Amino acid sequence: MSWDPLLLTLKLALVTTVILFLLAIPLAYWLAYSRARLKPIVETLVSMPLVLPPTVLGFYFLVAFSPRNAFGGFLESQLGLELIFSFPGLVLASVLYSLPFMVHPIQAGLSSLSPSLREASYLMGNSRFRTLRRILLPNIRPALLTGIVLSFAHTVGEFGVVLMIGGNIPGRTRVASIAIYDEVEALNYGAANVYSAILFIATFLILLLVYLVNGGYLKRFWR
Amino acid sequence: MISCTAQKDLNASGGGIQLRLNFEIPKGTLVTLYGQSGAGKTSTLRMLAGLMTPDAGIIRVGDKIWFDAAQKINVKPQQRRIGFVFQDYALFPNMTVQQNLEYGSGRRADRQLVHTLIEMVGLRGLEKRLPSTLSGGQQQRVALARALVQKPEILLLDEPLSALDSAIRAKLQEDILRVHREFGLTTILISHDLGEIYRLSDRVMHMEAGRVVKETAADALFSDRQISGKFKFTGEVVRIEAADILFIVHVRIQNQVVKVISRASEIEGLALGDTVLVASKAFNPVLYKLG
């Protein structure tokens, strides 16, 4: 067994989570406060990965970004972006696939804040951006933590999308979940067990941390 | 001078209301908006503050136009320089009392003013506390002080004292009156408490179904209930007790409860929570020196 798949999983989850965090805040802000007619459509699209089989997403991704197609070919020849069977492709797919796990908690957090907090900030002469940074985000810290951890854990646990568009290239796209499948196929149960146990314990600890922090248990412990 | 002619159709729960406002408020006065819930009082304040956009009309403050639908002028709330005390106070939970005030005074925090305000509303010693650790009355004072950090010309108060008990109310009414005078503010207050209105306001605007139906001086509020009494107070019925053939009506007047003996015919139509006038007609009140 090699550590590569685990490290790759960690790298993929970290990069995905960071991108998602930056992407989800403006999106969640818009979803929480906008009254645009387009909103239900966008909401639906954001939630789609929750119910759609990962293979569907992977399949369309494969079709769209294949270098044999106009769009995929353009990306590769003009921008040098190779999205199929590559790490950047995995990141892009993971961002889409884990989008609801980041957007939903943040959106719910923003909606739960009293509108008067925002209004009070505006009336004190503060811009929307400053209000977001100084008032809104600091007051939804539990939601931010939930979003970060859920997207991270969900990316770690991803299988179908990765297999469809990343394949199984050691060191490039073979993440832990794929490696487990691979080892089992090769009847290599020992290695599969090690990968599985590590993922099992790691995800347990990550989720436990969220519940401890958001439940205020740690604060009580330190006091 | 605030002059406001504004129209807005609101879709409130239980049927919408049409706000048709047309009023003027002279500079430096303290005006109370009075009326049942759903009459459009809060919406009126929100339109003045720029938190709600009227469908049509003009809002002018002094020589500045804040809103003009025809000319498509709509000054942002950030630029209107309004002090607003929300019903839920809207204190920022992540900031201490002092930070709540300094956040408002922008990047060049006017520390002297923040200090003065903290002193003025009696929050000295609580500067480093978070709002969640303060009592309701203290939170209200933070909200009042915070509304003044911007040195506004107009102070809007949306039922600021409704959640507080009467002793603290009396203290805070003084605070409101004091800042109103010291800062030379034009203040608009929403209140349901007749005693409070009488005590604080110069003028009262009665609102009904989205319109200002009557504008009077504060003491005229009681005029339609006036009888030739020597001794009278307005209060609220808190209990009606049967005692043999008579009834004892408990009336809360400010923070005291007075028991009034009534006949069955007199309490007909009287329900708990009704506002009543307790008056004595035939006898002179007697004064006892206390203490």
Name the residue among A175, A198, A206 with its Cα closest to residue A101: A206
- DSSP structure string for B183-215: TT-EEEEE---HHHHHHH-SEEEEEETTEEEEE
B260-268 contacts: CB < 8 A, separation 24 or more? B267/B240
Same domain, B275 and B212: no
Q: How far is B154 from chain A (nearest CA, A)?
A: 12
Residues B184 and B239 in one domain: no
Interface touch B103/A126, C-beta < 8 Å? yes
Cβ contact, residue pair B150, A122, below 8 Å: no
Pairing of strands B82-85, B154-158: parallel
Query: What is the pLDDT, as a whole number, of residue B224?
Result: 56
Domain that includes residue A179, residue range:
4-222
- Within-domain flag for B285: no
Of B121, B173, B174, residue with least CA distance to B143: B121
Residue ranges of chain A whose pLDDT lies below 70: 220-223
B130 touching A, CB under 8 A? no
| Domain match, B198 and B214 both | yes
ipTM attached to this prediction: 0.81
pLDDT of residue B221: 66
Do B213 and B231 fall within a single domain? no
Nearest to B78 among A122, A134, A138 (CB): A122
Q: Among B178, B202, B223, identify where a domain stops.
A: B223
Domain identity same for B218 and B269: no
* Distance between CA atoms of residues B285 and B280, nearest Å: 8
Residues B147 and B231 in one domain: no
Measured between alpha carbons, how far is residue A120 from residues B144, B199, B233 in Å? 12, 27, 37
Q: Is residue B288 part of a domain?
A: no
Q: Do B94 and A127 touch (CB under 8 A)?
A: no
B88 touches chain A (CB under 8 A): yes
Alpha-carbon span B274 to B50, nearest angstrom: 35
Total number of domains constituting chain A: 1
Residue position matching structure tokens 């650790």: B133
* CATH code of the domain covering residue B266: 2.40.50.140
Domain that includes residue B266, residue range:
227-280
Q: How far is A106 from chain B (nearest CA, A)?
A: 17
For residues B254 and B118, membership in a common domain is answered with no
pLDDT at A84: 82
pLDDT at A72: 78
Closest CA to B87 of B42, B51, B131, B29: B42
Give a yes or no: residue B272 inside a domain: yes
CATH number at residue B117: 3.40.50.300
Domain count, chain B: 2
Phi, psi of A3 (to 5 degrees): -80, -15
A126 phi-psi bin (left φ>0, alpha ψ -120 to 50, beta other): beta
Residue B286 is assigned to a structural domain of this protein: no
Question: Which residues 155-214 of B are in CB contact (within 8 Å) with A?
Answer: none
Provide the pLDDT for residue A170. 85
Boundary residue ending a domain (B201, B223, B245): B223
Which helix (H) or strand (E) element contains residue A48?
A: helix A39-51
Question: Given its phi and psi angles, is residue B92 left (phi above 0), alpha (psi -120 to 50 degrees) or beta?
Answer: beta
Q: Which long-range contacts (CB under 8 A, 24 or more apart) does A69-78 make?
A: none
Q: Please give the model's pTM, rounded to 2 decimal places.
A: 0.81
Statement to judge: residues B166 and B178 lie in one domain: yes
How far is the C-alpha of A104 from the C-alpha of A31, rounded, in Å? 9
Residue B291 lies in a domain: no
**CB-based contacts of B197, cutoff 8 Å, min separation 6:** B32, B34, B189, B191, B204, B218, B221
- The 10s digit of each residue's pLDDT in A79-117 is 777 788 889 989 999 999 999 999 999 999 999 999 999
Does residue B179 lie in a domain region? yes
Rounded to whole angstroms, the Cα distance separating B31 from B204 reads 6
Looking at the structure, do residues B172 and B233 belong to the same domain, yes or no? no
Within this chain, do residues B125 and B269 fall inside the same structural domain, yes or no?
no
What does each of the 291 residues of chain B score in pLDDT, given as a tens digit? Answer: 899 998 888 876 666 788 899 999 999 999 999 988 888 899 999 999 999 999 999 999 988 999 998 999 999 999 888 999 999 999 999 999 999 998 866 555 578 888 888 988 888 899 999 999 999 889 999 999 999 888 899 999 998 888 787 778 888 888 899 999 988 999 999 988 877 888 888 899 989 888 888 888 877 766 555 545 567 788 888 888 888 888 888 888 877 888 888 888 888 888 888 888 887 766 666 677 776
Q: Identify from B42, B51, B149, B155 which residue to disrupt to test chain A contact, counting A C-beta atoms within 10 A and taking the largest count.
A: B51
pLDDT score for B108: 59
Using a CB-CB distance cutoff of 8 angstroms, which residues of chain B are in contact with residue A135? 92, 94
